[in-house]
Structure 1
Amino acid sequence: MNEEEKEKRLTEEADLEAEEKQADSKEEETEEAGKTISGYALKFGEPSKDLGGFVEKIDKEALKDVDFSNCFLLYDHDYSKPLASVKSDTLKLEVDDTGLHFEATLNDTTYAKDVYENVSKGVVDSMSFGFELGIDSFDEDKETGEVTRSIKSVKNMPEISVVTMPAYDSSNVQVNKRSYEKFIEQRSNKKMNKALESTSDDQKGDNNMEKTLMNNEQTEIRNYEEYIRSKGEVRDVTTENAAAVVPEEVIGEVFDLKRNKYNLAQYATVKTVSNGQGKYPVATNQEAVLATKEELAEIEDVDADMFTSVNYAVATRAGKIALSNEIVEDSEVNIVQEVKEQLQQLVDNTDNKHIIDLLKTFPKQEVADLDGLKEIHNVTLDPALDKTVILNQSGFNHLDTLKDSDGRYILQPDVTAPSGKSLFGMPVVLVSNKLLANAENGAFPMIIGDIAQSVFVARRNQVTTQWDKFDYYSQGLAVVIRNDYETIDEEASVYIEFTPETTGGGSGE
């Protein structure tokens, strides 16, 4: 969904409370009591902060059609840090006369415990919620000029969040302002019409011409619609050589083709470096042991290399684009900002390609069944590694349809995983077939391992530049990155080509 359609709001007086539930029976006395928090995600009828020319209130009927069955409680709107969910019955939501009340039993995770402590001590006392707008309206106080937006209905509310003030002040301005701009335009038209009525006859002649020109486009569109519906019988429409002239509309937004957006660098070890080349020290004493020492004997040297180095040398990668000033001036949108966002996507694409290319150089294994995948997970890779699975679309689809002998799907739901699924407890990262293509023999490529232990990304600098090209009446934009991608530990990941047997592979038990 277009980001402009998603809105977020801050609820400062959220009545956040924290309590520790007592055990229900003696058998549970030894178990850790459940930690719960409760409060209001939103309150009806209370004015928001200034959202850029208007304040906002939510009507009591706004939530009546909302399906909360897939709603999550998050920390700072971060889906990688879920605290509770309606689906797991750890989040209970109730719409009352005050607003949307919630009660959540928090997960037993480190960040959930931190949230509980911050709420219980009053360090964090604000809530936020993300929603998709249904119907809204604007009203202006004739005396004060204050504009109030009323949220009449909400389509969807996928999450509510425990937030800190600094984390939300910036996102509070992420408001869909198209309806507000429409209201302002209508208000301006009303003021212009009122001014026309009070002008002199000479002025009316000039202003009426302006008003006529403004209405021409709407009139032309209405006439054209009548022309189409009547199959050409009604001809109150501009024609050329007996052909209808189709009115042209300029759309004031950029349509963004939906593509899976991700950056694999978030799973790697990324360090900002101060020089173009250098060494990244890595501790390697995992297998070393201490020697037995006799009384008064000299202590022996450790029989192992304590450290090794990952050598890096950054390379410069860059791209530019030229925009004519005619496009910049005539566009209904901020085309320069749109181009800058697309250039940032090129940076992410560059990270993804080099990280995948590097991971494909890791030790390769050919696997034909699920038992082979389990052996890599259980034996080949060190048990201390935080293992992740990277799959392309084809491999994901194949594994997502496999079941074990008891009829259970091999890929299990996992709200903490980027793809929403896990394999043998390992979170699955889904990438496109274009980035990680199938092998020539049709095998599905897979990467299993600890990406942070495997890949080192050295970032030297990233710059987005903009300049005028006066000779061409245009502007130039470019993005320049200086970075390198190196292997840390080649035993931390395995590159797999998975060719399923025609009989269906292992049991998955």
Structure 2
Amino acid sequence: MALRQLMLAKQIADKEKELEEMRGKDADFETREKELETSISEANTEEERGVVDGEIEKFEQERDAHNERKSELETKLSELREQMKEYEKTPERREKKKDMGRRNKEEIEEMRSAINSFVKSKGQVREGGFKEVDAGILIPVEMLAVQKKPEDVVDLGNYVKNVSVNSSSGKYPVIAKSGSKMSTVKELEQNPELSKPKISNIDYSIATRRGYIPISQEAIDDADYDVTGLIRDEINDQSRNTRNTDIATVLKSATEKSVTGLDGLKDLVNKEIKKVYPVKFIISSSLYAELDKLKDKNGRYLLQDSITSASGKMLFGKEVVVLDDDMIAGAGELKGFVGDAKSFCTFFDRKQASVEWVDNQIYGKLLAGVVRYDVKKTDTDAGFYITYTQGE
């Protein structure tokens, strides 16, 4: 890979990482907007309304700057990817592929002729062009570019609170959402005491998860595609799958609750979970399939289309996140987490890295992935782990 191409790949990776982090903050702005809506409804005096108005102005400025930066990153990413495509279309690269194509065609014709002679002579004629094995012939398989299976990528790390830590263990203070209010007082009167916040310390202990994939140098040399890049992507996928599984395990530890029919879901969202929590449905694909069939009395489907939700659907105006059954439930089980995952669960991130080095003993490379983190439940009031049953 040319130096210019390496630089473009590095720039693309950096921009993608920054854009993913920016998108992960979208939920924070959603939470702040909900909190401001609550503050607006509770502002009863001109002074209180003035304070809220200032907070709204500050929030809108930060949100606009956030969205503008996201737009800039998306534009820059698009430009860098176009540059990479143009680079891969250079005459030198096209000529190399053309020569390889002519050479491969000649080799294949030679191989066909040799195999035909072998077959027609019942093994008596053994021309050059193929290898013999166990009194037979070995037909080579061309190393073609790998085709990756399409997949739905859900990163649960974007839905929980992320905290970077610098030590292997420690305590993280969490203030519970009490819903308490300030009192109205007259001018120059003594300030009343506010409700004391309930603070709990969450112990975390960082664990290391790692592994490697060996790749032969022959595979790297013979393949007309970036083998190491493909395997590196696979390591990153496995890292994300590991994080998702650990986060889902914590979500499944929420207070269990049985819910019957659509009315049961409505009661859960409207009565059981405090309004300070922005609710999301993080559910199994089986539960999603069941909810996707629900209709109102006019025959309209209850799951609403959404361009902002990854699944493309919302229920009661809340985002629906769909996971494979084996991650959030069991096969065919109608289960999932309903609530505010960001308040319920915290991801303590210590370090993540991907490294590679040459191993002379196997004449190849070992690509290693290392992630260090812990996942803890931080606010048990923020959601429930539900089991859904069809209503009558």
What's the CA shift string for 1:134-161, capped at 9, x where partnerless? xxxxxxxxxxxxxxxxxxxxxxxxxxx8
Letter in 2 for 1:364: E
> What does 1:268-417 correspond to in 2, within 5 Å?
268-284=160-176, 286-289=178-181, 301-305=193-197, 307-417=199-309
> How far apart, in 1, do the equivalents of 2:75 and 2:189 lie?
61
Sort the Cα spacing of 1:298 and 1:356 in 2 relative to 1 into closer, same or farther, 3 A. Answer: same
Deviation of 1:313 after TM superposition, in Å, equals 1.4
Aligned residues: 327
> Identity of counterpart residues, as a percentage?
24
State the superposition RMSD in angstroms.
Answer: 4.1
Q: Which runs of 5+ in 1 are unaligned?
A: 1-50, 53-75, 82-108, 125-160, 191-210, 225-234, 504-509
In structure 1, what is the equivalent of residue 95 of structure 2?
184
Amino acid at match of 2:107: E
1:216 match: 106
- Secondary structure of the residue aligned to 2:328 is coil
- Tell whether 2:150 aligns with 1:239: no
Residues 356-505 of structure 1 aligned to structure 2 (within 5 Å): 356-438=248-330, 443-501=333-391, 503=392
- SS of the equivalent of 1:239 reads helix
Matched AA of 1:321: I
**Are 1:463 and 1:480, in contact at CA under 8 Å, matched by a contact in 2?**
yes
Contact 1:272 1:460 in 2 (8 A): yes
Moved more, 176-185 or 413-422: 176-185
Compare relative contact order (CA 8 Å, sep 6+) and give the higher one, 1 or 2.
Answer: 2
1:317-364 alpha-carbon deviations (Å, 9 max, x no partner): 111222333333333333222211111111101111111110111111
CA contact (8 A) 1:388 1:448 kept: yes
Structure in which a larger fraction of residues adopt helix: 2
Matched with 1:58 is: none
Shift in CA distance, 410/355, structure 1 to aligned 2, threshold 3 Å? same
Would you say the 8 A contact 2:220–2:226 is kept in 1? yes
List per-residue Cα deviations over 1:485-508 (Å, max 9, x = no partner): 01121111111001214x3xxxxx
Alpha carbons 2:208, 2:373 under 8 Å: kept: yes
The equivalent residue for 2:35 is none
1:93 — aligned with what? none
Secondary structure of residue in 1 paired with 2:94: helix
Tell me, in whole angstroms, the C-alpha distance in 2 between the residues paired with 1:312 and 1:189. 55
Amino acid at match of 1:267: Y
1:324·1:473 contact (CA, 8 Å) conserved in 2? yes
Query: Where is the strand percentage greater, Structure 1 or Structure 2?
Result: 1
Letter aligned with residue 447 of structure 1? F
State the one-letter code of the partner of 1:351: R
Q: Distance in 1 between matches of 2:368 and 2:100?
A: 41
Distance 1:170 1:306, change over 3 A: farther
SS at the partner of 2:85? Answer: coil
Q: Is the 8 A contact 1:285 1:307 kept in 2?
A: no
Take 2:213 and 2:96, find their aligned partners in 1: how far apart are those partners?
34
Relative distance call for 1:181 and 1:308 in structure 2 (3 A) is: farther
Q: TM-score, normalised by structure 2?
A: 0.70
**Counterpart of 1:62?**
none
Distance 1:180 1:376, change over 3 A: farther
Provide the C-alpha distance between the structure 1 equivalents of 2:253 and 2:77, rounded to a whole number of angstroms. Answer: 40
Shift of 1:374: 0.5
- Partners of 1:309 and 1:394 lie apart in 2 by 36
AA matched with 2:272: T
Query: 1:484 offset after TM fit, Å?
Result: 0.5
Give the aligned residue type for 1:415: I
Q: 2:151 aligns with which of 245, 252, 259?
A: 259
How high is the TM-score relative to the length of structure 1? 0.55
